[in-house]
Structure 1
């Protein structure tokens, strides 16, 4: 049976829906057992990612993902899908309510095993992010020195997560270091052809 572009994108849509809605079993079921996920705050298997996301939500950290039109590269039993997304969080920094939006590209490696396509790997290339007060004109109290130490392509996201006690990876691919994103994509496309 040949997978269509729609079939592949639906796996990703179901995974993101599961994460955003708190449907943890649905989220975990989209990953192969030996999958790998690497994001700003997490590294591990897809099933571990679902569990860690559940724990994150229980701490009050809720993200929503707005997905854009994906690019699908399909070869035999494998596929690489690049999914542009906006990661949205309504947060508080020292009592000031703000909207944090991080723009990124999810790089999904997918493979058919035992008759179904699942996610083998999810990596992220970060582009830029914004932080705006919910109430226009209200000042968001930012520690400028701590902010300056964060990676430029996901500075606001890293600042917030670091302040919440998460281990933030400062070396992820980003548009501020285009060679890092190029290397990630080159490796994914090598995997696709092998």
Structure 2
């Protein structure tokens, strides 16, 4: 049986493993989630296996991304077979043909399960805190009316995705929103089995 520290390190490795997406290491990226795992972010909602396929297509486009991941805040249940991780990330993106980029700050809320001795993610949702446009080669025009369609916390990211052919069709959780509170409450309910206690730590 793994130790408590080993469990926490394994969970932290899942979070920092998002580097595989930036590097186009698709086989390694698939290993972060259980086969039935799902993900919900600005431009995709569905099975993680389908997300990887869609990410490959995005990787071949003019849209590029880089994720800077911090250490997660991890909550384990008493039996140490379920965990919830909240992880800060900085998302840096640009569209080469548009000479336009953005920088966004978000938090991943992950439900993580240990199956057959292996920790993997079963559900990932994102909460968006702030985003700004960046201009890699100098100022370019922005369609302000289009940008204002989206919540301010991810408007720059959504605008760039829309202009890159990856539409944002839903409203997503932002800092302090009712949707954020619902996501966290649902994750806590999923984590806590009847009669169990939870332990919360920084990984």
Residue 117 of structure 1: aligned partner: 119
Q: 1:127 aligns with which of 121, 126, 129?
A: 129
TM-score (norm 1): 0.91
TM norm structure 2: 0.87
Is contact 1:131–1:156 with CA below 8 Å preserved after alignment? yes
Q: CA RMSD in A?
A: 1.5
Higher relative contact order (CA 8 A, sep 6+): 2
Are residues 1:9 and 2:12 paired? yes
Give 2:87's aligned residue.
83
List 4+ stretches of structure 1 deviating above 6 A. none
Measure, in 2, the Cα distance between the counterparts of 1:99 and 1:162.
Answer: 12
In the alignment, the residues of structure 1 paired with residue 121 and residue 53 of structure 2 have an alpha-carbon distance, to the nearest angstrom, of 16
Aligned CA distance change for structure 1 residues 191 and 69 (closer, same or farther; 3 Å): same
Query: Deviations along 1:109-163, whole A, 9 cap, x unmatched?
Result: 100112211110110000110112224xx43201111111112210000011111
1:143 is aligned to 143
List gaps (5 residues or longer) in structure 1.
none
Separation in 2, partners of 1:60, 1:93: 6
Higher-helix-fraction structure: 1
2:185 corresponds to 1:186:
yes
SS at match of 1:131: strand
How many residues are treated as equivalent by the alignment?
188
Conserved 8 A contact 1:91-1:100: no
Mapping of 1:132-171 within 5 angstroms?
132-135=134-137, 138-171=138-171
